[in-house]
Amino acid sequence: MIKQICIIGNSHLGALNGGLKMMDPNGTEVIFWGAPGRLFPKIRYSQGVLRSSDREYAHIISGGRHRDLPLDRYETLIFYACHVEITPLLKRVLNGPLGSSETSSQFFLEAFGVELDQWWQNLTFPKIMGQIAADFPEKRMMMFAHPHWSARSGAIEQRLRARQAVRLVNDFIRQKCTLLGIQYIEQPEETVADDIYTDDKWCKGSIMHSSGENHPETDTIHMNANYGRIIMERLLGSTTPESI
C-alpha cells in the first residue's frame, strides 16, 4: 500500500518539489497544497477541509488533485513554512533598541518574550493548525521551520544577540506546536550561516513551484532544490513506520 502525505505551504514548496524530483520517495506519494505569498494567510478551514485563497494555484501544485483540501484523505500532514517567518521578526527586534549592547540580558529576555507572544497571536495559520489538530487527533502532524533569508540579504545589522534570539524563537515555536500535538523541526543546521541566515548556496537557483521558472537572481528568500532535498530526506525519514 502506497503511503500518502500532504505538505501544506506557500511558494517555498517549490524547493521541496525540486528536492523530491532528485530522490527516491521510497513508496511514499507526496502531495503539495497551499497558496502563494500574501494569499497564504487567507486560507480558511472548516469541517475538515482547507479552502485555498488561490484555488487554481492549489490545483496546479497538487498535480490536479485538489483546489480545496479534504484532510481526511491523508494520514500524515506536514506544515511547511506556512508564513511563520522568523527573519522579519529578528530583523525588527535585533535591529532595534532590544538588540543594542546597552540592553541588559534580563531585559532582553523579558521584552523578547512579549514580542514573541504578540508575533504568534498575529499569525493566522497557527490558529488553523490548532483547529486541525483538535479535529484530527489521530493524524501524524509536523511543522517544518520557515527557512531564514539568505545571508546575501544582509537583513539583520545588529547581531549581538542573534544566536540567543534564534534559539528563543525555535524553543517558543516548539512549545506551541507541542501543545497542539504537532512535532516541530528546525531548519537543518548545515544550511544555516552566522546563526541567523541561510547560506546563500542554498538560495541560488530557486524555482517557482507553479510555473517551473526561476526566481529573479535578486531573490534572497526562496531556497533551491538542493535545500529541498535535505528537507524531503528528513521528512520522509520522519514519516516512515520505523521512525514513529
Cell numbers describing residue 67: 483546489
The structure's pTM equals 0.92
CA dist 232 → 228, 229, 236 (Å) = 6, 5, 6
Per the structure block, which three cell numbers stand in for 218? 535578486
Q: Residue 141 sits in a domain of what CATH number?
A: 3.40.50
Instruction: Please report which confidence band the pLDDT of residue 2 belongs to, taking 50, 70 and 90 as the band edges.
Output: low
Question: Which tens digits make up the pLDDT trace of 159-212?
Answer: 888 889 999 999 999 999 999 999 999 999 999 999 899 999 999 999 888 887
Residue 25 belongs to domain spanning:
3-243
Total structural domains in the chain? Answer: 1
Of 44-48, 76-80, 90-94, 236-240, minimum mean pLDDT range = 236-240
pLDDT band of 243, cuts 50, 70, 90: very low
121 pLDDT tier (thresholds 50, 70, 90): very high
Q: Name the band, by pLDDT with cuts 50, 70 and 90, for residue 239.
A: low
